[in-house]
Structure 1
Amino acid sequence: MFQQASLQFLKDLTRHNQKEWFEKNRKKYESTKKELEEFTGEIIKKISKFDDSVAHLEVKECLFRINRDVRFSKDKSPYKNHMAMYISKGGKKAVNPGYYFHLEPGNSYVAGGLWMPMAPELKKVRQEIDYSWDEFKKIFNNRKFKAAFNDFRRGEEEVLSRPPKGYDENNAAIAYLKLKSWIVSARITDEELVSKDLIKKVAAHFETMNPMVQFFNQALDE
């Protein structure tokens, strides 16, 4: 669980996104970061019970920096208004599918799957969905999965307008073959963030995602 003070720090950072303010409030940042580190360590342990491919990970391999890369952005705000972690067998920088947690007051969520893979990985995943359609369909039609996540995210930038090369519009899996990312997510309320049951809830979501993550790992390992 997180302290209310940590949520307040992130709210204040959104309003005062400047280096001078950040330095004056660095102790609050360090306290929030420590909470996220402890939370991440506990979540790694929980995930390792059903996905031992992440058991070797250290916390630092899963946490994203709060500093923004502003080199190519018109928005020169130096800091993100959120903190986040990504747990996959290759760590946060790998192309592997995995489990994501986003900490942002009023907009926190868990997510998982495979985000915007490069062309070689994209091809492998589409082939696996096509070859193993019945298996893949069982994953997202599972009652528990549907109750938690409903369906894969379908933002405009994440879906092809036409079938990918080599696939017909009449393919039974075409709605999923057109995707460029395969991501599911579930909202986490501010009340849940400060609840003692947070770790249990987040771990349960990640366990529900696990068959999907394993499906994508299998596709990329072939």
Structure 2
Amino acid sequence: MSFYKLYDFLRDLQKNNNKEWMDENRKRYHEVRDWYIDWLNQLDIELGKVDPDYISTDGRKAINRINNNLMFHPEKPIYKDHFGAGMDLNENGKQGDFYIHLGTEESFIAGGFYKPKKELLDSIRDAIDYNGEEYKKILNKKSFKETFDVIDDGDSLKTAPKGYSQDHKHIELLRMKTFAVQHDVTQKEVTQEDFMQRCVDVYKEMIPFRAYLNKAVTV
């Protein structure tokens, strides 16, 4: 098994996104999924070696369901066109994601808080109000900027959030509703033997960013 077969499965699923096809290919799906879970378990070990604060996450817990949630998004196809997995998870949910997305349209490694709930968003804004200089320093580090794109979902406020002035020195950050970054990878790069090490390297570069945000929502 390999990432080649994982992508082959996703491409076939994209062409045949229906329950009948999935039922006929259920064994193939589980073979790909189980192989990827084993890969995630090995990555879990490697991440624990580089970060003493890393929270070990079993691959079966990390991997997302392949079914779309049609209750809230009935317009979506039955199945996703990607495998998503979230690592470094804690029980209370107050921890920014370290997320791996492998899909037919795009593949990337990401982390942080994507559209967090109001309680978490308020805490992040409080941290930026108190010490936004530290956050900017992390974002402006040369190696960080070379590794990541800041995710801009186009949903930032047009004005200042409640409780903050329009002329706040960190107003552009305070207006944001998502605090996350993304590192794009190609399918060719994913299928290389060093992809796991690449994930580890990206994780290490992301540590200060996630640590700042995690502290903001827990302290």
TM range (shorter): over 0.9
* Higher deviation after alignment, 35-44 or 70-79: 70-79
2:154 alignment partner in structure 1: 156
CA RMSD of aligned residues (A): 1.8
What is the rounded CA distance, in whole Å, between the counterparts of 1:213 and 1:138 in structure 2? 13
1:112 alignment partner in structure 2: 111
- Quick one: which amino acid aligns to residue 154 of structure 2? E
Shift of 1:8: 0.9
State the TM-score, normalizing by the size of structure 2: 0.92
What is the rounded CA distance, in whole Å, between the counterparts of 2:137 and 2:65 in structure 1? 36
- Quick one: which amino acid aligns to residue 189 of structure 1? T
- Whether the aligned pair in 1 keeps the contact of 2:110 and 2:183 (CA below 8 Å) is yes
- Over 3 Å counting, the alpha-carbon distance change for 1:3 and 1:133 in structure 2 is closer
What is the rounded CA distance, in whole Å, between the counterparts of 1:167 and 1:46 in structure 2? 42
Shift of 1:95: 4.1
- Quick one: which amino acid aligns to residue 131 of structure 1? Y
- Whether the aligned pair in 1 keeps the contact of 2:56 and 2:88 (CA below 8 Å) is no
Work out the percentage of aligned pairs sharing the same amino acid: 27
Shift of 1:94: 2.3
Q: Which digits, 9 at most, give the CA deviation of each residue in 1:129-176, with x for residues without a partner?
A: 1211221111011111000114x211223x111111121222221111
What is the rounded CA distance, in whole Å, between the counterparts of 1:136 and 1:163 in structure 2? 19
Shift of 1:188: 1.1
Shift of 1:66: 0.6
- Over 3 Å counting, the alpha-carbon distance change for 1:168 and 1:44 in structure 2 is same
What is the rounded CA distance, in whole Å, between the counterparts of 1:44 and 1:20 in structure 2? 34
Determine helix, strand or coil for the equivalent of 2:78.
coil
Shift of 1:106: 4.0
- Quick one: which amino acid aligns to residue 29 of structure 1? Y
What is the rounded CA distance, in whole Å, between the counterparts of 1:46 and 1:163 in structure 2? 42
- Whether the aligned pair in 2 keeps the contact of 1:88 and 1:94 (CA below 8 Å) is no
Determine helix, strand or coil for the equivalent of 1:75.
coil
What is the rounded CA distance, in whole Å, between the counterparts of 1:74 and 1:221 in structure 2? 35
Q: Which runs of 5+ in 1 are unaligned?
A: none
Shift of 1:70: 1.0
- Whether the aligned pair in 2 keeps the contact of 1:99 and 1:206 (CA below 8 Å) is yes
Q: Which runs of 5+ in 2 are unaligned?
A: none
What is the rounded CA distance, in whole Å, between the counterparts of 1:115 and 1:88 in structure 2? 16
* TM alignment of 1:1-222, pairs within 5 A: 2-75=2-75, 77-90=77-90, 94-150=93-149, 152-157=150-155, 159-222=156-219
- Quick one: which amino acid aligns to residue 153 of structure 1? I
- Over 3 Å counting, the alpha-carbon distance change for 1:106 and 1:2 in structure 2 is farther
State the TM-score, normalizing by the size of structure 1: 0.91
What is the rounded CA distance, in whole Å, between the counterparts of 1:197 and 1:111 in structure 2? 18
